A and B are shown apart, each in its own frame.
Chain A
Amino acid sequence: MNSAPGAGWNLPAMTDLARLRQATYRMASETLLLPEPGRWPQLAEAARALLSEGDWVAAFLFFPELNEFLRALHRTPPDEIARLQVKYQVLFGPSTELKPPPLNEAGYLQEAGDAAGLMLASIEQHYSSAGVSIAAAGARMPDHISTELEFVSLLCGREADAWEAGDLKAARRSQDRQRRFMEKHTSHWLPMLCNALRTREGGVFALAACAARSMVVHDMDFLDAMRPYLREPSVAVARAQTDGTH
């Protein structure tokens, strides 16, 4: 990790933070798909790597939820996958007893019909403006939680690349895209999914949703607060002094 001297601990580089966010969104995205034997050992390994990343992560609001999620992934033994698959089916599959918590945004819309169409069109627009599209074969729904989180992860990856290349403009562009997408879509329904899962399950699926929720809430503020500092430095300082949170 690149670091600069801070007050008592090292401030993380923007690249590190963007990479951490990229990894977390990606892991939450993968966890909220039907568990597959080949994927889970990779997730556990990635969790182990992130857990050892260092103290700097604790400086951020999302640390408790992220830590809990990573520990749960890391603790899941490979022979548990079959049990997790059953759990996933019971939790999200059709049920006669309880309405399963929807894993897609349309399931949380207050009005059906046209609203769902508009929402999907808006999502597709976000994807296409970033130059990505959903693969036609075996594709997930564009508003599925794992698709939305993977999209945010991709944008975080681009941001990290931009920081690494010293391209401030590209980093800012990617941050703006992330913020707009989360504000319009993910932030509206992820808290509801998280609460529904916490009430029903409380296991790794709930922890994945809650870690992603905590990160989305954090990032919306963080990117918003950071925006003025990515412009003219003198303007940014003046704004920071006027804003001075009281």
Chain B
Amino acid sequence: MAAAGTTAAVNQPARVLVAVCGEERVRREVAQIGQRLTEPDNNITFVAVPGLCFGIDCIPLNVANAGALRLVLGLCSGEFSPTEVDRVSRRAGLNPFGVQVVAFRRWRDLLPDKDASAGAVLALSAATARARAFTRSWPEQSKAVFSGLSEPITRRSLFHTPPVRYVPVPAIDRDACVAANGCRECIKACPHGALSSESGLVRVDRSACKTCGLCVTACPQRAVDLPGYSAREIEAQLERLTVAPKPTSIVFACRNVSRPPGPGWQPVQVACAGMVPAAALLSAVSNGAQEVGIYRCTADCANKSSGQLAGTVDYCRQVLQVAGESPDRIRLLPPGDEDRPEDPSAWLMPPTRARKTGALGELFGAGAAGRELTHIARDTAGGKAIIDHASSPVALPEINPAACTACGTCSAACPTGAIHQTDESGQTTIVVNSARCIGCGDCVASCPEREHGAISIFIRTDMARLSLGPQTQFRASGVRCRNCGAIFTTREVLQRLKAMLGNDYREDPLGTLCPDCRGR
């Protein structure tokens, strides 16, 4: 009994305090929202605090009373101070990066409309899921920036600390990172040169980092953790939004957009709009989102991600088109500094043909886009399409049997496992999985036979190939050591050696003994 109880306690989701600003005149309606939120989840404590937007000092006491480990704030004025939220969270013993703030419009605008109230419940519930997905952060994962210094500083003002704010900085999970194998995806993706590699370890220059999160999306191993904007947190929020009973309109909003998106949108905050992966856009539509929008900060993003973002959106729209869906389900919205996105109901989208798998799964990392595209290839009319697009999140490695020696260098260099080599029953087999290939080109760069065209990469989405799954592209006969019997090379490697060495080639011992037995 004790053991079962322990397991139950371990598996129980973290208790979350959901505190919302509740004006007196809408007290009954806010209470109803609380009821709808807590009924299906008894690990949520809901409190409505009149005037919360103008003072959140009551939060530490409420957190202590609830025994909460996470916090979600529902604020309606839109003028709260993030610095103040951080300070109060720390006082409550919570990590500010894990605190979620849902910025509502004024309750009186929201409440008379039943759909809007349902939207409030959904937004709070999704924020709760995101808060629970936050784990922890180390001191090294944040850096200080001074905010609010827009006026000339007087000598006198220097004698008070400027208002300091902390932004997250990524950390690399060294157990998951494959930089030691040559992977440089995060380094290539960083627009600020904040990442570098040293002795097979990725280093983060915290002063150069601008918290854009592009490294999180680029990492094929999900080894980059950016507290508050980690893959886990974004996936958890999106998953809750897509299992809503009614199709929802989801907008990925850059954290630097200060104004909330227009009515009807459920926002998912990201560090930069450029970090939204194609898998997230496509999976959201496939799983029931009526429309998916991306709300940028400015048209010319400081993270230089505008081109990449436009490419991703254009690619996703092409996928929807070949799948027989309206491409307008995915849109790049006007930047936050120009205009609010319009009400999504104005788009008059046809009913969604959602797959509704019930679980969204991983949307970041190698294989996430491939899995979604494979579903689309198998379930829709687009099963035979080929999309040649520079922003394709999957690529197609092709091995040339006439030149490949099955030396195994490509599979060792592949950071995603898209090329896999096995040695069984005297045969060496190379299996290629297009759904996991991200087109990094590490296999081509490392191939000793690249001059002979042993391997090529095509940045394209081949739906037919995706639906077939992993394919064997090359088989080679292994050569056994005459002494110990172990397979130590392939016939193709020996032929290449013979061609290279000419008369200097000696079949014995090069082709008969493994390197270990040769030395004995």
Contacts and interface: CB of A to CB of B under 8 A. Distances in A.
Interface string B167-208: 100000000000000000000000000000000000000110
A241 B158 contact: no
A61 interface: yes
In this complex, the interface size class of chain A, counting residues with CB under 8 Å from chain B, is: 35 or more
Contacts of B145: 225, 245
B207 A229 contact: no
Given A12-B160, A166-B159, A226-B162, A64 B81 contact: no
B139 A218 contact: yes
B482 interface: no
Interface string A48-90: 0000000100111111110000000000000000000000000
Contacts of B139: 61-62, 65, 213-214, 217-218
A115 B81 CA distance: 48
Given A11-B161, A214-B139, A245-B145, A55 B87 contact: yes
Contact of A246 (B164, B206, B210): B210
A229 B161 contact: no
B84 A191 contact: no
Interface stretch (B69-77, B88-96, B344-352): B88-96
Interface string A184-218: 00000001000000000000000000000110011
A245 B144 CA distance: 10
Contacts, number: 115
Nearest to A166: B159
Interface in B138-163: 139-140, 142-146, 148-155, 157-163
Interface string A215-243: 00110011011100110011011001100
Contacts of B207: 221, 224
B99 interface: no
Given A9-B84, A163-B159, A237 B153 contact: yes
Contact of B84 (A8, A221, A225): A8
A14 B146 CA distance: 14
B153 A221 contact: no
B302 interface: yes
A132 interface: no
A246 B159 contact: no
A29 B391 CA distance: 54
A61 B55 CA distance: 21
A168 interface: yes
B87 A218 contact: no
B84 A11 contact: no
A55 B143 CA distance: 21
Contacts of B83: 7, 59
A246 B211 contact: yes
A246 B152 contact: no
Contacts of A213: 139
Contacts of A245: 145, 167, 210-211
Contact of A168 (B87, B152, B155): B155
Contacts of B158: 14, 168, 229-230
A221 B55 contact: no
Interface string A1-33: 011101111011111010000000000000000
B272 interface: yes
Contact of A64 (B93, B256, B301): B93
A217 B55 CA distance: 30
A60 B164 contact: yes
Given A225-B144, A225-B145, A58 B153 contact: no
Given A15-B159, A191-B140, A236-B153, A58 B91 contact: yes
A229 B162 contact: yes
Contacts of A191: 140
Nearest to B162: A229
B488 interface: no
Contacts of B87: 9, 55, 58-59
B41 to A, nearest CB: 27
A55 B161 contact: no
B409 interface: no
Contact of B163 (A6, A61, A65): A6
13 contacts: A8-B81, A13-B160, A15-B159, A58-B88, A59-B86, A60-B164, A61-B139, A221-B206, A233-B153, A237-B153, A240-B149, A244-B302, A246-B256
4 shortest A-B CB distances, which residue pairs? A217-B139, A221-B144, A233-B153, A214-B139
